[in-house]
Amino acid sequence: MEAKKLNLTLNIWRQKNSKSVGSFAEYKVQVSPDASFLEMLDELNNTLELKGEEAVHFESDCREGICGTCGLVINGHAHGPLPKIATCQLHMRNFKDGETIWVEPFRAKAFPVIKDLMVDRSGFDKILQAGGYVSINTGGVPDGNAIPIKKEISSLAMDAAACIGCGACVASCKNASAMLFVSAKVSQYALLPQGQPERYRRVERMVKVMDDLGFGSCTNTYACEAECPKGISVTNIARMNRDFMMAKIKSKEVEV
Amino acid sequence: MAKLDSKVPEGNIAEKWTNHKFNMKLVNPANKRKYDIIVVGTGLAGASAAASLGELGYNVKAFTFHDSARRAHSISAQGGINASKNYQNDGDSTYRLFYDTVKGGDFRAREANVHRLAEVSGNIIDQCVAQGVPFARDYGGLLDNRSFGGAQVSRTFYARGQTGQQLLLGAVSALNRQVDKGSVKLYLRREMLDVVIIDGAAKGIVVRNLITGEIEKYSAHAVVLATGGYSNVFFLSTNAMNCNATAIWRAHKRGAYFANPCFTQIHPTCLPLHGESQSKLTLMSESLRNDGRVWVSKKKADMRNPADIPEDERDYYLERKYPSFGNLAPRDISSRAAKEVCDEGRGVKGGDAVYLDFKDAINRLGQKVIEERYGNLFEIYETITGENPYKSPMMIYPAPHYTMGGLWVDYNLMSNVPGLFVLGEANFSDHGANRLGASALMQGLADGYFVIPYTMGNYLAGDKPTLVKTDHPEFEKVAKEVKDLTNKLLSIKGKRTVDDLHKQLGRIMWDNVGMGRNEAGLKKTIEQIRQVKEEFWKNVTIPGSGADVNQTLERAGRLVDYFELGELMALDALDRKESCGGHFREEYQFEDGEAKRDDENYSYVAAWEFAGENKWNLHKEELKYEYVKQAIRSYK
């Protein structure tokens, strides 16, 4: 049943570790158009391992576009040329026989390369640990239906909550800004009644950690939205900016 | 050797948990900070456990091999989470959820555990809503429900097709809050490679730092494993690439019993294989069966396109065979029915696939409603296959998805090794021989939020607060064994890759320990597994070093455990001479092909004790059904 294979030239970023200098290495591969991009890399790794060479290191897990583990810059685009998918969902039928493909890690000052195509995105978690939650303990909460929420509001919160934390927004931003990622979490809680008590304190703390970690600022190019695999909207950034301004007025913990 | 004591409390089933909570010992708030707890895994069970234990004041060390707690495979769960809220006024109750789950599990689960699960199911929803999980809602602002397989009520709560993601992000937000407060320390990119047992009790773990390659030792007063299931033994499954059995398997080799390893779930709605390079199989949520109709042609090897097959030449086989549950028959039954029609040669164009058709639903409700309900699933399907499921029916086929078996635990979720607790998919307790849809999320969160916070206190109250140091000789010994294994793997330098050998094991497992099993096949399988294992130890190649990031080495270590686990699965399947739930022995079936259970001889949990290479001793925990009458499970 397998369709005719594609002959491709891959230029893949190889880098031994975070301290070494990396460079592109060229590989010729043959691949089924029904295979996914990462399955092509699996096959390449199989042939490298047979030759006793180290596999091209890249990260992936669910391969269903939801865990956010994978992330490659393919021909200059985070997660490849198609809109609204993660790297693992990209299939080889979207490439032409004979094509040359450039594969790089997500690059940003705040995402140092670990090895080959693996990067360290732990900065994202540090931001979430600075208030990206509702402060409630297990047990002792009201009945689920005691908090009615307008369907439209709930739906908007879900749109924001759909972020998979992959970091494509940072990788595609010329300033390596994390505003789309941070604003998605801020928005989810800002929209919902559960998030109100800590609304302004939260945005202040999260933005501060984001800045401290060396993520850049937003200059409204919307590259992040264009490359986001989940279509997270830049309106979240506007909402976060509004809340951040309000926080300066409302919060008792203002630091000038 | 320890006797298998399930420690199920006395009394009426509806009062057991309430009484037990009162009778259990407590650790007073000031003393809690004197106890350290290790939690391995940050999926629904692990994250909720670590967060809840941290909130209570214990010092928690949480471990994950991922780069972030949020990546755990719970995130991929699509359809929903069950709870007996009865918000729909359709006759649901704690007892009905309990009854459905025991029946759905084909009477091989422990009644008391299942009842507790049903009791706390509603609390889980409340907890998640309070955390800000954006569940689906109706126009009145209240929570919406959908139906799932094996139930005749609508009790499934959902967040579009991303319920697992939203619940995990909720649990991880609770975990992050504790990290922020300092009560939980999170260790990322650490893979647990062994458990350390001192004076008969679990006192710590040994992990590999996946970035530096260093072998690290951590001690605690108790160890909680919430490390998921073992479907990746099949190589191709719906599990994520890195899901593995290593944590529970190494604990098993240190003395923890492995229960019902042959109880594996083959999910009926996954995308069919595309070819040899396939790395995993993609699940299409069971919720699709709410509106999709499953069919094949009545003719063998029918090469026509689906649109050209007229209505009267189609066989809607689930609706035909199981009129009262129809397309929502439970997973084991639906999977087997798909295998049957494909084995007859009536699969899509004679191959291994059946249709899941939304045409009638689209005609009845309009495309917009279908888009709202399943939009993202339809997109996933189109991305992967290149076909539009609004226009032509989806093609699906069963794939390994979930493992009901796991480490044996008592009512307190503690294994037979004192101080070693096991939560979520990693334990065996609640789903019997078959898990119902939307019940895995429920169990993971029940264990983590509402069971372990109580039972852990009861255990620690009897333990001394002195913490074992990691320079204890037993820690040194275990760490050395772990290092030796790594070095041994790297020294083989053979001619076959890890994936190649894993695929070979996977095919053996799928052919003989998959949807249909028989004595001859299982015996042959054990021989074949040993051969591949031998080949592995002689001829595997693992380039790179152990002192660096080495993904090939990581995969090799996991495969080592799959060989042994695969053999135990076959042994357990061989030993269980009956058909029940996901375990279908071809010799034991009724004339119409339905599973023939043997309650007289097999109404027990098979708990296997590791007794050296290729050797196990069987311990049995008798299952008594005092509330749900053991009957032939009919969905007709």
pLDDT for position B372? 82
pLDDT for position A176? 97
* A253: pLDDT strictly greater than 90: no
**Dihedral in degrees, nearest 10, Cα atoms B182, B184, B190, B194:** 130
B70 to A120: CB separation less than 8 angstroms, yes or no: no
Q: How far is CA B443 from the centre of its chain?
A: 10
Average confidence (pLDDT) over A85-114: 97
Measured N-to-C along each axis, helices A179-191 and A235-250 cross at an angle, to the nearest 10 degrees, of 70
Q: Please tell me the distance from the alpha carbon of residue B98 to that of residue B112, in angstroms, as a whole number.
A: 9
* A207: pLDDT strictly greater than 90: yes
B71 to A141: CB separation less than 8 angstroms, yes or no: no
B130 lies within 8 A of chain A by CB = yes
Average confidence (pLDDT) over B314-335: 93
* A256: pLDDT strictly greater than 80: no
* A239: pLDDT strictly greater than 90: yes
Q: Tell me the two tokens of residue B305.
A: 């396109």
pLDDT for position A252? 61
Torsion region of A105: left, alpha or beta (phi above 0 gives left; psi -120 to 50 gives alpha): beta
Nearest to B161 by CA among B381, B331, B364, B354: B381
pLDDT digits (tens, 9 = 90+) for B497-518: 999 999 999 999 999 999 999 9
Among A40, A49, A62, select the one facing B73 at the smallest CB separation.
A62
pLDDT class of B3 with cuts at 50, 70, 90: low
Mean pLDDT of chain B: 96
* A250: pLDDT strictly greater than 80: no
From chain A residues 90-119, the ones with a CB under 8 A of any chain B CB are 91, 93, 114-115, 118
pLDDT for position B363? 96
* B101, HSE (Cβ side, Cα atoms, 13 Å): 32
Distances (CA, A) of A43 to A36, A117, B180, B277, B527: 11, 16, 41, 7, 29
Helix H or strand E segment including A233? none
Place of tokens 């062994």: B194
pLDDT digits (tens, 9 = 90+) for B48-62: 999 999 999 999 999
pLDDT for position B571? 98
Q: In angstroms, what separates the C-alpha of B142 from chain A's closest C-alpha?
A: 5
Among A35, A55, A189, select the one facing B132 at the smallest CB separation.
A189
From chain B residues 176-205, the ones with a CB under 8 A of any chain A CB are 176-177, 179-180, 186, 188
Range list of H helices, chain A: 37-50, 122-128, 151-161, 168-172, 179-191, 199-212, 223-227, 235-250
pLDDT digits (tens, 9 = 90+) for B167-178: 999 999 999 999
B569 lies within 8 A of chain A by CB = no
Top residue of B60, B68, B128, B536 to mutate, by most chain A CBs within 10 Å, is: B68
Contact list, B494 vs chain A (CB under 8 Å)? none
Q: Please tell me the distance from the alpha carbon of residue B556 to that of residue B244, in angstroms, as a whole number.
A: 11
Q: Please tell me the distance from the alpha carbon of residue B126 to that of residue B58, in angstroms, as a whole number.
A: 24
Contact list, B241 vs chain A (CB under 8 Å)? 60-63
Q: Tell me the two tokens of residue B401.
A: 């998805």
Q: Please tell me the distance from the alpha carbon of residue B191 to that of residue B562, in angstroms, as a whole number.
A: 16
Nearest to B623 by CA among B405, B427, B432, B418: B432
What 3-state DSSP class applies to B365? Answer: helix
pTM for the model:
0.97
Instruction: Classify the C-alpha dihedral B62-A132-B443-B161 as positive or negative.
Output: negative
From chain A residues 133-152, the ones with a CB under 8 A of any chain B CB are 133-139, 141-145, 147-151
* A254: pLDDT strictly greater than 80: no
pLDDT for position B119? 98
Place of tokens 């691949």: A31
Average confidence (pLDDT) over A146-156: 97
Top residue of B48, B66, B67, B239 to mutate, by most chain A CBs within 10 Å, is: B67
Place of tokens 């096991």: B422
Contact list, B497 vs chain A (CB under 8 Å)? 46, 49-50
**Dihedral in degrees, nearest 10, Cα atoms B195, B199, B203, B204:** -30
How many CB atoms lie under 10 A from the CB of residue A23?
9
pLDDT digits (tens, 9 = 90+) for B220-241: 999 999 999 999 999 999 999 9
pLDDT for position B44? 98
- Mapping DSSP onto H, E and C, the string for B21-72 reads HHHCCCCCHHHHCCCEEEEECCCHHHHHHHHHHHHHCCEEEEECCCCCHHHC
Nearest CA in chain A to B490: A52
CB A177 within 8 A of CB A170: yes
pLDDT digits (tens, 9 = 90+) for A180-200: 999 999 999 999 999 999 999
pLDDT digits (tens, 9 = 90+) for A59-76: 999 999 999 999 999 999
pLDDT class of B632 with cuts at 50, 70, 90: confident
B139 to A144: CB separation less than 8 angstroms, yes or no: no
pLDDT for position B2? 53
Amino acid identity at B507: R
Average confidence (pLDDT) over B538-557: 97
Q: Tell me the two tokens of residue A108.
A: 């940003």
Contact list, A139 vs chain B (CB under 8 Å)? 123, 127, 449-450
pLDDT for position A3? 75
* B1: pLDDT strictly greater than 60: no
pLDDT class of A251 with cuts at 50, 70, 90: low
B165 to A164: CB separation less than 8 angstroms, yes or no: yes
How many CB atoms lie under 10 A from the CB of residue B199?
8
Among A42, A141, A189, select the one facing B279 at the smallest CB separation.
A42
Range list of H helices, B246-366: 246-253, 317-321, 331-343, 359-365
B174 lies within 8 A of chain A by CB = yes
Q: Tell me the two tokens of residue B384.
A: 């992967």
Percent of chain B exceeding pLDDT 90 equals: 91
Going edge to edge, which strands form the sheet with B406-407?
B406-407, B258-259, B604-610, B616-622
DSSP one-letter code for B592 = T
Contact list, A83 vs chain B (CB under 8 Å)? none
Percent of chain A exceeding pLDDT 70 equals: 97
CB B25 within 8 A of CB B458: yes
Sequence-ordered list of residues with C-beta below 8 angstroms from that of B459, at least 6 positions apart, any chain: B222, B412, B414, B418, B419, B421
